[in-house]
Each structure stands twice: as structure tokens, then as C-alpha cells.
Amino acid sequence: MADHFPPDIDMETPSIARMYDYLLGGKDNFEADRKACETLADGIPELVAFANDNRAFLSRAVEYVAAQGVEQFLDLGAGLPTAENTHHVAQRSRPRSRVVYVDNDPIVLAHGRALISDSEETAFLLADIRRTDEILAAPETRRLIDVDLPVCVMLVSLLHCLPDADDPFGMVRSLMERLAPGSCVVFSHIVSEDPRAGAWMTDQILSFGTPWGRVRSPQEVFAVFDGLEPASAWPDGRDEEPRVVDCSTWRRPGVDPLFRPADPSVRLWELAGVAFKR
């Protein structure tokens, strides 16, 4: 397998993109990534379900946003391609949808370009999401995204990768200020109401030597919705709370949205929502 990886890949330090790929059943990962996931799964038995639920949320959210008429997607921290990627889902309902995938892991770029070749509608960008100006100014972005029209900014399972020192929520605010009304965020973030459970996961990941941020409390991550209007999380779109919910229950047919998993023994979950700039 190693022969199709870029030569500058560090195989010894787990990478979030490759760990997530492993959890989703992918093959683009190394021993160090698999071991790291197993260590985490010792303390978080629902880890695999966690990743799969998050990815299913991404698909439902893109389908919903495309149905609202949005045709431009900036998929930040896109991760390794899987069976259903953002442009596949968006183009099912809006064939003209354009997607710029952004990730700072070179493996994502290499595999992204190999599996989803750049086309008239998609592009891959190797960039750090903290460098918003460079992402917006990149030729790929300028070719595919018109910031005077609504843009869907995808921040799915991403901002917990950034430490507070990087001001992840301030970065999102300033990015959204530059986008047209009708733009939206698709957001999920690992949270816990139990500081010890959150600190355990954070400490484990940092101990691998993997760049990461931290698990935050639900109240902390609500900051991403400041100034935005969260959409209904109910599958029938009813105008009711909760709107920011456990990702496995967001607009999932036959399921009532729940703020947190019903099982009280589950102490970490991926809090998710979609919110529009009006």
C-alpha cells in the first residue's frame, strides 16, 4: 500500500485524516493510525459508530442544503474520499453544484486527486483552514466559487482539531462575514458535558503527537452559530427545538432529534447542525 503514498508522509505519527479513514473502514491508513484508534476505542467504545454517524450526517446535511438551492460548497477539512463525497450528494439534486475540497493532510490531496479527479465542478486544495485568505484567493476557489452567491461552508468534525489559540470560532465568523446572504455552515464537533471524559480524549490524541485542539462543551461550540439562523433538525422540518443535536439524529427519517445520546453512559458525542446567514 505504501507505494501509492506521497514520499513525505510521516507513517509513525497518527494523522486525523487516516485515523478517521480507518474508523470508516477505509484502507488508506498505517499501523500507527490503527493503534491510535484502538487506544481511543478502549475509552470510547462507540468510536466507530461515532465516525459513521458523523459521515451520514454530512450526507443528509449536504442533501438538505442542496435542496435549499445552494450550489457552491467549500468543504473544509474534507478528509479522505469515501463512497459518498460532498459533490456526489450535492450533484444528485443540483447537477451544477461546485465543490472545493480543502485539507492540510497531503494524503488527502494525493488520494482526492486520484479518486475524484479535478473536474469542471470540483477541485482539491492542500491548505490549512486557518489561512482563510489564501483559500479564498486560490485559483481553484476563484474558478468554482462566486462569493457573491450563497456558499455552504462545511466544518464537519473539524474545529475540534484546532486549539483555542487559533480562535476557530472567530475564524468562522470572519469567513461568514465575507460570504453572501443565503450562505450556511454545516457543522459538527466532538463535545462532552463531562470535563474528565473530554480531557481524556484530548490528552490521548495529543499524546500520539498528532496536532489537535480539544473536546469542547456544547455551550462552547454554540459560538459557531452566532449571527446565524439554525435550521430545523426535524426530518419534517418543523419549527421546533432542538436544532443543534447529536449528529446521528439530525433530520434522520423516523428519528426525533436529540440534543445528546439517550444512553447516559455515552459521555462524548458529535454535536451537529446547519445554520444560514440571512
Ligand X SMILES: C[S@@+](CC[C@H](N)C(=O)[O-])C[C@H]1O[C@@H](n2cnc3c(N)ncnc32)[C@H](O)[C@@H]1O
Q: Does 209 bind ligand X (CB under 6 A)?
A: no
Q: How many Cα atoms are found within 13 Å in the side-chain-facing hemisphere of 182? A: 15
Question: Which range binds ligand X by CB under 6 A, 90-98, 103-111, 115-123, 260-268?
Answer: 103-111
**Window 42-71: contact mask with ligand X (x via CB under 6 A):** ------------xx--x-------------
Block residue for cell numbers 473502514: 25
Q: Which is nearer to ligand X, 74 or 78 (CB)?
A: 78
Q: Does 6 bind ligand X (CB under 6 A)?
A: no
User: Shortest Cβ distance from residue 278 to ligand X (Å)?
Assistant: 25
Q: Does 185 bind ligand X (CB under 6 A)?
A: no
Q: Does 20 bind ligand X (CB under 6 A)?
A: yes
Q: Does 87 bind ligand X (CB under 6 A)?
A: no
Cell of 107: 494524503
| Interface residue with ligand X, options 108, 123, 184, 224 (CB under 6 A) | 108
The residues facing 190 across adjacent strands are 270
Q: Which is nearer to ligand X, 128 or 220 (CB)?
A: 128
Contact (Cβ atoms closer than 8 angstroms) between residue 134 and residue 127: yes
Residue partners of 220: CB distance under 8 A and separation at least 6: 191
Chain residues 113-152 in contact with ligand X, contact rule CB under 6 A? 128-130
Q: Does 274 bind ligand X (CB under 6 A)?
A: no
Q: Which is nearer to ligand X, 140 or 236 (CB)?
A: 140
Dihedral (CA of 231, 237, 240, 244) sign: negative
Of 8, 188, 5, the closest CA to residue 18 belongs to 5
Contact (Cβ atoms closer than 8 angstroms) between residue 34 and residue 250: no
**Does an H or E element contain 173, and which?**
helix 168-177
How many other β-carbons are positioned within 10 Å of the β-carbon of residue 227? 10
User: Shortest Cβ distance from residue 52 to ligand X (Å)?
Assistant: 10
Omega before 264 cis (within 30°)?
A: no
User: Shortest Cβ distance from residue 42 to ligand X (Å)?
Assistant: 19
| Interface residue with ligand X, options 158, 171, 245, 247 (CB under 6 A) | 158
Question: Which residue blocks in 75-165 are alpha helix, DSSP H?
Answer: 86-93, 106-115, 132-137, 139-144
Q: Does 85 bind ligand X (CB under 6 A)?
A: no
The residues facing 187 across adjacent strands are 155, 273
| Interface residue with ligand X, options 14, 16, 30, 172 (CB under 6 A) | 16
Calculate the alpha carbon distances from 236 to 65, 153, 185, 202, 239 in Å.
15, 23, 20, 36, 9
Q: Which is nearer to ligand X, 128 or 140 (CB)?
A: 128
Count of residues touching ligand X (by CB under 6 A): 20
Q: Does 23 bind ligand X (CB under 6 A)?
A: no
Contact (Cβ atoms closer than 8 angstroms) between residue 32 and residue 12: yes
| Interface residue with ligand X, options 62, 156, 201, 268 (CB under 6 A) | 156
Q: Does 78 bind ligand X (CB under 6 A)?
A: yes
Cell of 84: 459518498
Contact residues for ligand X, defined by CB under 6 A? 16-17, 20, 54-55, 58, 77-79, 103-105, 108, 128-130, 156-158, 161
